[in-house]
Amino acid sequence: MDFILQNIWLVLLALLSGFMLFGGSLGGRLSGVRQVTPQEAVMLFNHEDALVLDVRENSEFNDGHIAKACHIPLGQLKSRLNELEKFKDKPIVAVCRSGSRSRHACSMLKKSGFDKTYNLAGGMVAWEQAGLPTKKK
């Protein structure tokens, strides 16, 4: 107990670091957003004709994206939901750089009546680490 009191800043830093590492995935589980791995996403694309919704900014998208991805930056998603109406009955896999913005996009989609939404866990970082292909514009 003396150690904790004498090193309170170190303890707080350790707690903050732990939250930052694990808080993102916990937030996805608590929000009800379904997470998929890159391999599970590929299965959704190939077997269920899922739509890839890339919510990154233009420069990120142009640096490399999943083939046939629909690109709508997160900041524009609410005003452009009508573009996705025809995909309401299909699975939608949202993707960003790390999975945070896409998780938010999934929440927005669910509130708008899209039931089959999935967040690509780890985003494009995980996609590229899995050795899966990207396309540049």
DSSP string covering 88-122: TTS-EEEE-SSSHHHHHHHHHHHHTT--SEEEETT
d(CA 132, CA 109): 26
- Percentage with pLDDT > 90 across the chain: 74
Q: What is the pLDDT of residues 16-62, one digit of tens each?
A: 666 555 554 444 444 578 999 999 999 999 999 999 999 999 999 99
Per-residue burial over 54-81, b = 16 or more CB atoms within 10 Å of its CB, e = otherwise: bbbbeebbeeebbeebbbbbbeebeeeb
Give the pLDDT of residue 29. 47
Determine the average pLDDT of the residues in 86-115. 96
In degrees and rounded to multiples of 5, residue 122 shows phi and psi of: 85, -5
96 in catalytic set: yes
If you average pLDDT over residues 91-114, what whole number do you get? 96
**pLDDT above 90 for 15:** no
Query: What is the C-alpha to C-alpha distance for residues 43 and 49, in angstroms, rounded to an integer?
Result: 9
Query: Is pLDDT above 80 for 6?
Result: no
Nearest-angstrom CA–CA distance, 83 and 122: 26
Q: Which of 52, 93, 96, 121 is catalytic?
A: 96
